[in-house]
Amino acid sequence: MSPKVSQAYKEERKAIILEGALHCFIEKGFQATTIDDIVRHLGISKGAIYSYFASKEEMYIQMADDKMNAMLENSTELFKTMPSAADQVRYMYGRFRNQSLNELRRWMAFHLEFMLYAARQPHLTERWNEYADKALVFIQDIMDGGKQTGEFRSDLDSAAAARLFWSIRDGLALQYMLSGEEADYRRTIDDMESMVFRYMLS
């Protein structure tokens, strides 16, 4: 009889595998990376990986979901001491400013590659939308809160505002993905923040 494995051990092993997959995705790109690449990098058997993840696609989705959940959990906890919706939005822009261009570029390169890959596969598109919807609902809730407190205009379409928020953010990331200086990037985030507030308050 094989020994019983604790949940903590399983989570630790999954985290190690995801870290290895992340390294390979950054080095080679999502599509070029194979399970064999991850096996070689980690020095473990293919069976050990498949006991936790059925595919590299599942690894990516888990990785992205973990990153999103951590952001939502940390932000939601902080927002308990930050009742102003406007301050919550400013906090999010602060997070963007604090992310270096190097970090942004590392993530965005294979993040975009996965999006294009998933767009051609309905089962991945569905999983991706579950992930993306969390981000939209998170910002929409902030917008709804700002409308209730009178901070944002009463006719604000919270759902549209949430899409606008992330669309501007993603567009900025694309503009700076291949070139651009850190100082210019931060100034552009400042301009983006001012523009979004004008939209919410006008």
Picking from 29, 38, 176, the residue whose alpha carbon sits closest to that of residue 113 is: 29
Question: What would the two tokens of residue 85 be?
Answer: 């919706």
pTM of the predicted structure, to 2 decimals: 0.85
CB 110 within 8 A of CB 26: yes
Looking at every residue in the chain, the average pLDDT score rounds to: 90
Picking from 105, 97, 102, the residue whose alpha carbon sits closest to that of residue 191 is: 97
Hey, which bits of 24-177 come out as E strands? none
105: pLDDT confidence band, cut at 50, 70 and 90? confident
For residue 34, is pLDDT > 90? yes
- In DSSP notation, 84-117 reads -HHHHHHHHHHHHHHS-HHHHHHHHHHHHHHHHH
- Say what the pLDDT of residue 3 is: 55
Tell me the CATH number for domain 1-53.
1.10.10.60
- Say what the pLDDT of residue 127 is: 86
Cα(72)–Cα(132) distance, rounded to whole angstroms?
12
- Say what the pLDDT of residue 1 is: 47
For residue 48, is pLDDT > 70? yes
For residue 97, is pLDDT > 80? yes
- The mean pLDDT value for 170-198 works out to 91
Tens of pLDDT along 21-31? Answer: 999 998 888 88
Q: Which ranges in the chain are annotated with CATH 1.10.357.10?
A: 57-201
- Say what the pLDDT of residue 52 is: 93
Q: How many CB atoms lie within 10 A of CB 132?
A: 14
- The mean pLDDT value for 35-40 works out to 95
For residue 118, is pLDDT > 70? yes
Question: For residue 152, what are the CA distances in angstroms to 114, 161, 162?
Answer: 35, 11, 13
The CATH architecture one would assign to domain 57-201 is: Orthogonal Bundle (1.10)
- Say what the pLDDT of residue 202 is: 66
**Burial letters 19-40, b for 16+ CB under 10 A, else e:** ebbbebbeeeebeebebebbbe
